[in-house]
């Protein structure tokens, strides 16, 4: 079975700098909704020292990974859990989206999943800091 571009699909939009267990838990919840997920990677790789959120979100100025690295990381980590790119999910590059505007009756919803305190406390910022301390990231 391959990813069906016309089938109802859940969207996950983010920087994924890097993908971590919290993201995987969210992916698994999203997958339960429609059976396939489109993971959208904001094109922020290399934006350092300026606000990648364009003032619309909290400051996001530490984006060391480019799309290729992010997409390989996502595909690899999800594969380890038994998920297949091109079947269960797709990873696509999108512009640096900082706002999603919609009108009434647009045909989709927004769902916030409560993944529990332990998962919500996972921080890509902390992960990048540890990677720098361990010499894994400049």
pLDDT tens-place string over residues 76-113:
999 999 999 999 999 999 999 999 988 888 888 888 99
Question: What φ, ψ does residue 45 adopt, rounded to 5°?
Answer: -50, 125
Q: What is the pLDDT of residue 78?
A: 98
**How many beta carbons lie within 10 A of that of residue 124, not counting itself?**
18
Question: Measuring CA to CA, how many Å separate 88 from each of 1, 10, 77, 84, 107?
Answer: 9, 11, 13, 5, 22
Tokens of 111: 């769902």
**Any idea where the domains of the chain sit in the sequence?**
10-133
Q: What is the pLDDT of residues 38-58, one digit of tens each?
A: 999 999 999 988 888 888 888
pTM of the model: 0.90
Q: List the one residue out of 107, 89, 100 whose CA is nearest residue 42.
A: 100
């Amino acid at each position: 079975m391959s990813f069906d571009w016309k089938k109802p699909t859940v969207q996950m939009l983010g920087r994924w700098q890097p993908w971590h267990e919290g993201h995987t838990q969210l992916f698994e919840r999203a997958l339960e909704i429609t059976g396939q997920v489109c993971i959208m990677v904001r094109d922020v790789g290399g934006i350092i020292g300026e606000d990648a959120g364009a003032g619309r979100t909290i400051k996001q100025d530490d984006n060391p990974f480019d799309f290729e690295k992010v997409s390989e990381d996502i595909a690899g980590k999800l594969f380890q859990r038994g998920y297949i790119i091109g079947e269960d999910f797709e990873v696509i590059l999108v512009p640096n989206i900082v706002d999603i505007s919609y009108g009434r009756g647009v045909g989709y919803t927004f769902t916030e999943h409560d993944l529990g305190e332990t998962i919500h406390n996972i921080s890509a910022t902390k992960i990048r800091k540890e990677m720098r301390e361990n010499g894994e990231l400049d």
